[in-house]
């Protein structure tokens, strides 16, 4: 895949990040409708920030993997804080039953994991897609046992 540098007024950049965050206590709340809503809203929220793009996303029942392109004018921590905060409010508005499981207006765990995507972008993107396959295999094993 050829490199696609993006431009700001005085710089060229390619800043991609692999981010993982999870619900409080790793509760498995990100299933079915909630999962689809998180995916949809993640794209919407990222589109609100100029230059921020979701390159890959995978929502598992107890965590979220996202590969993001974030321009250097934004701090990664601010973008993740924005995403987690807005997603929490939107989830509580859309799914009031989550308030019983996630009390105190807290959906997400306090921290997150972030790593830069360098020359192995395709490997990272495959890993994010692979997480879904791994989860399906685990479900199948539980059904068989």
H or E element: which one contains 7?
strand 6-8
Any catalytic annotation for residue 25? Answer: no
Q: Active site residue: 13, 37, 74, 127, which one?
A: 127
Count, in order, helices (H) and strands (E) of the chain.
4, 6
Apex CA 18: angle with CA 87 and CA 42, to 5°? 25
DSSP conformation class of 110: S
Q: Which residues are catalytic?
A: 127
């Amino acid at each position: 895949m050829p490199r696609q540098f993006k431009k700001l007024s005085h710089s060229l950049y390619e800043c991609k990040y692999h981010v993982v965050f999870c619900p409080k206590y790793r509760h498995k709340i990100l299933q079915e409708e909630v999962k689809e809503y998180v995916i949809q809203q993640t794209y919407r929220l990222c589109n609100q920030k100029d230059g921020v793009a979701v390159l890959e996303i995978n929502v598992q029942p107890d965590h979220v993997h996202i590969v993001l392109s974030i321009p250097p004018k934004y701090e990664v921590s601010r973008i993740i804080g924005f995403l987690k905060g807005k997603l929490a409010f939107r989830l509580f508005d859309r799914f009031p039953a989550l308030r019983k499981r996630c009390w105190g207006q807290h959906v997400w765990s306090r921290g997150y994991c972030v790593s830069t995507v360098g020359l192995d972008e395709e490997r990272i993107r495959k890993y994010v897609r692979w997480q879904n396959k791994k989860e399906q295999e685990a479900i199948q094993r539980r059904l068989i046992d």
